[in-house]
Amino acid sequence: GIQVEQSPPDLILQEGANSTLRCNFSDSVNNLQWFHQNPWGQLINLFYIPSGTKQNGRLSATTVATERYSLLYISSSQTTDSGVYFCAGVREKLVFGKGTKLTVNP
Amino acid sequence: ETGVTQSPTHLIKTRGQQVTLRCSSQSGHNTVSWYQQALGQGPQFIFQYYREEENGRGNFPPRFSGLQFPNYSSELNVNALELDDSALYLCASSLNRGTDTQYFGPGTRLTVL
């Protein structure tokens, strides 16, 4: 099956800073999703992005399917952005990376 | 429109016992997938149900079993609980099987003592 690698594993920012999270996948995928997991465990959908670029407020994502990677950009970070960010690729099933733990300090 | 719901929120069991977790899919969704998330790890796919039939299974032993009902709600059953089964169990529903966006419930945190 496909392997999904995320980097960096941990990221600490000051409020207001920008960041880029990366997701590499070992084989082509039919779909790619980005999630934010809050401290209570809820996985919140951020983007469904098999290819191209999408933006939603301060967040945007780009997937380059031919090069098997996706990037999540967070601009002007806020303390509420803290949590774990997961990407997941789909072939026959959804395969998650190990996540990037983001801590935004005030 | 109601989102994905799961019950119970928390559960404590002892080794060897059996447990049933429940999931109600989002309105209009006919596909439910179950995931196990150990502490510090990403969710791992257990299995998926589409229109009451199993539609794919991950690398989990047969003591993990499931059901989907005509209203598309679902159950996850785990027999002969082991300490390593302690985890957050997540249910996700999607409009259809395949590559449709999956929407996750809040999870059930299972502790096995």
CA-based nearest residue in chain B for residue A93: B45
**Cα–Cα distance list, B69 to A28, B21, B54, B75, B89 (Å):** 33, 14, 12, 9, 19
Is A94 within 8 Å of chain B by CB?
yes
Average pLDDT over residues A2-29: 95
The pLDDT tens digits of the residues spanning B3-36 come to 999 999 999 999 999 999 999 999 889 999 999 9
Determine which of A94, A96, A101 to mutate to test the interface with B (most B C-beta atoms within 10 Å).
Answer: A94
CA-based nearest residue in chain B for residue A29: B99
pLDDT category, B1, cuts 50, 70, 90?
Answer: low
Strand partners, A87: A34
Average pLDDT over residues B91-100: 86
CA-based nearest residue in chain A for residue B47: A93
CA-based nearest residue in chain B for residue A10: B40
Asked whether the beta carbons of residue B45 and residue A94 sit closer than 8 angstroms, the reply is yes
Nearest CB to B45 within list A30, A40, A93: A93
Whose structure tokens read 């995928």? A29
The pLDDT tens digits of the residues spanning A65-84 come to 999 999 999 999 999 999 99
Give contacts of A 1-40 with B, CB under 8 A: 4, 30-31, 33, 35, 40
Determine which of B89, B102, B109, B110 to mutate to test the interface with A (most A C-beta atoms within 10 Å).
Answer: B102
